[in-house]
Structure 1
Amino acid sequence: MELKGSVTIGQDGPQPRASLGSISSLHYGSFVNSLSSLTPKLDERPAISRRRAHITVAVLCYVNLLNYMERYTIAGVLLNIQTFFDIHDSTAGLLQTVFICSFLLTAPLFGYLGDRYNRVHIMAVGLTVWLVTATGSSFVTNSYFWLLVLLRGLVGIGEASYSTIAPTIIGDLFTGGQRTIMIAAFYIFIPVGSGLGYITGASVASLTGDWHWSLRITPIFGLVGLFLVVLLCPNPPRGVAENNHHDGNNRSSYLEDIKYLLKNKSYIWSTLGVTAMAFLTGALAFWMPSFLFRAQVSQGLRPPCTKGSCNSIDSFIFGAITVVSGILGVCIGTGLARWLRNKVPNADPLICAGGMLGSVPCLFISIFVATASIPATYVFVFIAELLLSLNWSLLADMLLYIVVPTRRATAEALQITVCHLLGDAGSPYLIGIISDAIQKSKPPSSTWSFLSLQYSFLICPFVAIIGGIFFLMTALYISDDRTAAQQLVEDTFLQGPTPEPTVEMNNPQSG
């Protein structure tokens, strides 16, 4: 089938051509629809082979694993860092806040670039920045805490380039159920990488007696990831998976993209839901090992850490809990979504709401039971993280099917900006400020140090309730917004093959 001023239909040799006069009895729109129905047959051979697409996902998953390992290695050795620099809770929380702030401030830039230029090149530059600054942060001495904070901020810039763009590449390689599975595979490495970050950081610090070495592991593996991205990852045409090919340049302005997203109600509500989840997971991820350590010190089960290398067994255990609960949660969430999606059109946001609201009682119990039983605390933390992990892959999948392909990187970037700005950029610092303020109300003691952090944690269950409500609101609009995105893609595709507003077709019977 060709559309070059004339149209030839048929694949078994030359076929007679029809003019507009010979189809005057047909509605032009019906003719275009019937013509477009033949198009998938012409695209039986995909632009990127299935094998290469799967290799690409494997490489992106590997780098995603390293990203989150590096991000939470700091939390795994936080006790050592606080002792090394002699800093309070609020100052320690600033490490994560600065990292997330640079991450969120540069994400819109990478989203803009990712919708218009070669995404592999952008990721390669970002990963290079990440490798250099992450390695540099491992050489900071105790007199230069401000330098560690600065380098953590630069690490966030590198990670922003990757986290913004990688999901959109997967979205352009797969559709439907396959996309859901591949997105699940990609996002399962968020909790896995986070958990391994705690374990790796604590292990290396324990073996070497120096927490600096724990920050040098992921850059070594990251160098391998950089080469794999450059050599093996393609930059698929935007929308190729939906048969809506683009040349890589988005003709709409950035302001038009923003207006489009602001009109997408399910995108707005889901972004608010993701923000609440980011606030919650950011606070738990950064402070939970320290919280568990202080709980045991207050009960006399462990001596306080005042100098040297601190006991990091809680980072080991919490890391293992994060890995296992993350894998199970993502698998269960993906399985539920695939089972319910055809039966319940708004199943994805309902599952996310269920995960958020279900974690509320578990969080309350884990916060208060730590006073009496550490094993029980671990159990309820595991259940809470399992329920929250139901959401990881569904959040990305929802964004991909409610936003048109040429605006996905921008949508991803803006969602990252909002959820980190109002979420985990401030939550570790806020928890630290509240904890410090409570500690100052009484003379210092191990018990009061634990209780101050325990009371500051109470903000988390309330944020989880708010997040659940946001996802319930998303469920009200997601079906309509998904249909609207699909219709816009189809309309763009139907208009794409026609080079001119009018098409002249020759009738063999008319001369």
Structure 2
Amino acid sequence: MKTDQTPTHSKLLPKAWLMVILLCVVGCLNYLDRIMITTMRESIVDALPMTDAQFGLLTSVFLWVYGLLSPFAGFLADRFNRSHVIIASLFVWSIVTYLTAHATSFEELLVTRALMGVSEACYLPAALALITDYHKGGTRSLATGIHMGGVMVGQSLGFLGGWIAERHHWTDAFSVFGAIGVVYAFVLALLLRDAPDRPDSTEPAVEKVNFFEAIKDLFKRKSFILLLVFWGLLGIVGWMIMGWLPTYYKEHFNLSQALAGLYATGYIYPVSLVGVLLGGILADYWAKKNPRGRVLVPAIGLAIAAPAIFIASSTGVVYIAIICFMFYALTRIFSDVNLMPILCMVSDKRYRATGYGVLNMFACIVGGAGIYVSGIMRDADVDLSILFKIAAGSMLLCAAILFTLKVKYSDEQA
């Protein structure tokens, strides 16, 4: 089997890893800036009186705008210079983060959250596409996994917003991290570059990418539609489990709110961080021997995660549940690591970022719907253990989709 480990590729690797390191920091800021508002609810409500529904709307409007604009944001990264899209996205959302500190009413705060959704939507499709442009074959899954590690660090640092708000003022966190993002955008302008073998979209000879042609090309591929169903189901599972896990611990094991929250979040990010690295290493290693390696690793991961969730939702022993949820956190994340590498194997390379944007939009929409439906089921006195068993079944279906997914393999698509 032909590989892409050519001298040119070997010479490019140091720069390729530099791109990953640079983007890890951006990924961290991306998720930190979006999530820290959820950790300072009391401080914000005290300063800007609002109902719980209004506070919840601050996150909802971000998610709606972010999801709906993701396909077009991905198209921008396919149509134009990916590094320029990333730098512009970071600069704009950092300015918006800084301006959030100057909001004086709920309405102004709502506008900044909507603008945050617009600007942040442009980042992830462009970043993952740039990484896969640089990393072909033997390092692609690990590279995307390391970038995801940066994203998870940003998620886990979300508590800094509440910590700063409690000790100083809620606006200080937005001012500080907004300023950091603006400065880092200038650093990226000096160092971040598109892969050398990617055509410059400004050259007259290069065929222009058309948004509607991209969408048409993606949806005519059965494998892409299956990948869309797979990612949508997994979005429902992820939001359902993470959204209701603290409540499950509290109700099922009669724990205090503080202890239930610790059990539900204390190990998820550290174990998942191990999972992104492990999933990337395993997929890259297996792909050298089997072109379907990047598909089989997440499929097997879900085949492990599903029974783990089923056992965790059935046991009356809290420590067994913790161990099972740790297995879920470790192996479920294999799918996130390998989504973009798999997309590269089922789509035209011209439309990678657009394709990821479509997947992202669908996951946001159905994930949000999943949370709402699960809330309706809770109101109807449906036990959370049943919801988690449904989640386990959905993960088995996701694994089956991957096992049957037909992919293409070449030096460009690997």
Which TM-score tier does this pair reach, normalised by the shorter chain? 0.7 to 0.9
Taking a change above 3 Å as real, the CA distance of residues 333 and 44 of structure 1, as seen in their structure-2 partners, is closer
Q: Which residue of 2 aligns with 1:59?
A: 22
Q: 1:268 offset after TM fit, Å?
A: 1.9
Q: Which residue of 2 aligns with 1:336?
A: 282
Give the AA of the match of 1:323.
Y
* Aligned equivalent of 2:191, options 220, 223, 232: 232
Matches of 2:351 and 2:387 in 1, distance apart?
35
SS in 2 for 1:115: helix
Q: Which residue of 1 aligns with 2:343?
A: 399
Q: Which residue of 1 aligns with 2:394?
A: 466
Q: Does 2:334 match 1:390?
A: yes
Percent same amino acid among aligned pairs?
22
Q: Which residue of 1 aligns with 2:293?
A: 347
* Aligned equivalent of 2:200, options 247, 257, 262: 247
Q: 1:383 offset after TM fit, Å?
A: 2.9
Matches of 1:52 and 1:159 in 2, distance apart?
25
Matches of 2:79 and 2:106 in 1, distance apart?
38
Out of 125-134 and 339-348, give the one that drifted further.
339-348
Larger relative helix fraction: 2
Q: 1:345 offset after TM fit, Å?
A: 4.0
SS in 1 for 2:200: coil
Q: Which residue of 1 aligns with 2:143?
A: 182
Over residues 51-97 of structure 1, what are the superposed CA-to-partner deviations in whole Å (9 max), with x where a residue is unaligned? 33322221111101111223332344457667885644x66544333
Matches of 1:128 and 1:252 in 2, distance apart?
25
Over residues 200-234 of structure 1, what are the superposed CA-to-partner deviations in whole Å (9 max), with x where a residue is unaligned? 234334444x5554545532432233122211101
Work out which of the two has the higher radius of gyration on C-alpha atoms and give 1 or 2: 1
Q: Which residue of 2 aligns with 1:482?
A: 408
Q: Which residue of 2 aligns with 1:308?
A: none
SS in 2 for 1:188: helix
List alignment gaps of at least 5 residues for structure 1.
1-36, 303-310, 439-451, 490-511
Taking a change above 3 Å as real, the CA distance of residues 365 and 86 of structure 1, as seen in their structure-2 partners, is farther
Q: Which residue of 1 aligns with 2:121?
A: 160
Matches of 2:109 and 2:144 in 1, distance apart?
33
Q: Which residue of 2 aligns with 1:416?
A: 360
Q: Does 2:221 match 1:264?
A: yes
List alignment gaps of at least 5 residues for structure 2.
none
Taking a change above 3 Å as real, the CA distance of residues 372 and 470 of structure 1, as seen in their structure-2 partners, is closer
Aligned residues: 407
Matches of 2:412 and 2:274 in 1, distance apart?
36
Matches within 5 A, 1:67-466: 67-77=30-40, 87-88=51-52, 93-140=56-103, 144-197=105-158, 199-208=159-168, 211-237=170-196, 240=197, 246-248=199-201, 249-251=206-208, 253-285=210-242, 288=245, 291=247, 299=254, 301=256, 320-363=266-309, 373=318, 378-423=322-367, 425-431=368-374, 437=379, 455=383, 458-459=386-387, 461-466=389-394
Matches of 2:32 and 2:78 in 1, distance apart?
27
Matches of 2:22 and 2:36 in 1, distance apart?
21
Matches of 2:311 and 2:42 in 1, distance apart?
24
Q: 1:382 offset after TM fit, Å?
A: 2.9
Over residues 436-483 of structure 1, what are the superposed CA-to-partner deviations in whole Å (9 max), with x where a residue is unaligned? x46xxxxxxxxxxxxx7x9468545424532432342233233xx314
Is the CA contact 1:194–1:319 (under 8 Å) kept in the aligned structure 2?
Answer: no
Out of 313-322 and 212-221, give the one that drifted further.
313-322
Is the CA contact 1:188–1:392 (under 8 Å) kept in the aligned structure 2?
Answer: no
Taking a change above 3 Å as real, the CA distance of residues 184 and 231 of structure 1, as seen in their structure-2 partners, is same
Matches of 2:390 and 2:275 in 1, distance apart?
22
Matches of 1:217 and 1:53 in 2, distance apart?
30
Q: 1:384 offset after TM fit, Å?
A: 2.2
CA RMSD of aligned residues (A): 3.9
Q: Which residue of 2 aligns with 1:22?
A: none
